[in-house]
Amino acid sequence: MNISQPLLLEGPDCTCLFSPVEREKLRFRHGGNDLLSISGIGFGKFDESSAYCAKSKKHESIDGLNTSLETVNIMPFGSEPSITRKCEMAGNHVVITTDFDLRSRIEVGSLEIDNLIIKGTWAKIGIMKISSPVPGLADMQWHDVSGRENFRIELTQIPLLLVLENCDGFKIEIGSGDDLWRWTNISVFPEARQSMVLEKADDGISLIRKVACWDLDTAIIPRKYRFSWYFAWEKPGRKYLKRLQNDDAKDMEYFRFPEGDVPQQLAAFHEGRNLGVSCYHSPSVSGIFRDLIRSFAGSAKGGDIVLANLSVPLCENAAHLERPQKQQLLHWNMTRLFTHWLWANKQLKNSGSRFFAITEDKESIFSILPSVRGLSEIRE
């Protein structure tokens, strides 16, 4: 079956349009303005524009806190590789998971994941590479692109995140998903290198993510390849929760996860070192969090609950991903935190309470990221 009917998701201030017959497979708008468009996967001489749609389905939650869609595009050649893409909108962020199911060997010059155009005119671009496990403000490298007709930035590894800001202060953040081991592990592509290119396009900035590329066409093995990523936005003038004084916090309950001497089962680890912060992928951390939220939701106290010492570390403990046999798998906590935030607010919605997460470290990069700031946004 070849589906040609478009599909529209509507959020509080943004929309997502899936267009099966268009080259731009997904288009996002914010406040009535184009934000970004995704052209999809490219491999060798083929890309997703030649695919036909075999499935499109959307899901809308009854509580209105999130909405999502799932699509399946089939490449009409050979063993007909498929591309399954899931897109979930909640708050001020969107999480995208793309599965590329390659059923037979194919020779390609590159494998490109979810190429896109970030629409509009941008003044500066911040790039944070995958380096420090608990990134600080100093780890962000800023590039002034205002007034430059031509510019091109190329990296030899997919970065942790990008932040683009325009002259009005509007920001969009594009980050790799929690499964960093999939973005960085090019050992599944023999003798490959990586490349990410940002450059000026007619209606914005083009982002090309080559997770593997070669000088000559090279065979890649049949398997399922999965990559997840997210984007978030911040419009100036929004209201955000800040840590209140005790006299002003009568309707709020604060809690903190352990810091410093963090028990091993809770802690984020990197290069064998306990980072002194919790990893939200840890089953123990998730269990504590869920018990806390359930208890608060059932206490009839009213008011809101706030995670006061938010940190979003990188971690290598594969046991957190229920893959202890791997020993080390580099993962991040950002989209996991989105999941916790959404789950908590769903649990609290019927009681009229809300869950917020804030960071107290002003030197942390998380104090300025749209993704993290959105978790403390006060929405009427």
Same domain, yes or no: 168 and 63: yes
Considering 234, 256, 282, which residue would you say is the last residue of a domain? Answer: 234
Residues 20 and 108 placed together within one structural domain of the fold: yes
For 35, phi then psi, to 5°, come to -110, -55
Asked if residue 255 and residue 192 are part of one domain, the reply reads no
pLDDT for res 244: 53
Same domain (yes/no): 220, 339: no
Same domain membership, residue 349 and residue 299: yes
Nearest to 312 by CA among 379, 249, 374, 264: 374
Residues 195-252 have pLDDT tens digits of: 999 999 988 999 999 999 999 999 999 999 999 999 999 999 999 987 654 445 567 8
pLDDT in tens, 19-41: 888 888 899 999 889 999 999 99
Say yes or no: 14 and 154 in one domain: yes
* Residue that is last in its domain, among 234, 260, 281: 234
**pLDDT (0 to 100) of residue 247:** 42
**Within a domain: 211:** yes
Spans of the chain, pLDDT less than 50: 245-247
**Residue 190 falls inside a structural domain:** yes
| Percentage of the chain lying above the pLDDT 70 cut | 97
Which residue range forms the structural domain that includes residue 197? 7-234
- How many domains does the chain fold into? 2
CATH classification of the domain holding 157: 2.70.98.10
The Cβ of residue 135 has, within 10 Å, a number of other Cβ atoms equal to 22
- What's the CA gap between 124 and 370, in Å, rounded? 15
Separation of alpha carbons 38 and 114, rounded Å: 6
Same domain, 88 and 204: yes
Let me know if residue 2 belongs to a domain. Answer: no
Q: Are 113 and 211 in contact (CB under 8 A)?
A: yes
Residue 316 sits in the same domain as residue 224:
no
Residue 358, pLDDT score: 92
Rounded Cα distance between 242 and 361, Å, is: 12
Residue 367 sits at φ, ψ, to 5 deg, of -75, -15
**In terms of domains, do 291 and 147 share one?**
no
Contacts of 111 (CB under 8 A, 6+ apart): 41, 42, 43, 100, 189, 210, 211, 212, 213, 220, 225
240 part of a folded domain? no
The angle at the Cα of 7, spanning 4 to 12, to the nearest 5 degrees, equals 165
Q: Examine the domain organization and report whether 210 and 327 are in the same domain.
A: no
Of 21, 118, 19, 111, the closest CA to residue 69 belongs to 19
* Pair 202, 89 in one domain: yes
Q: Is residue 241 part of a domain?
A: no
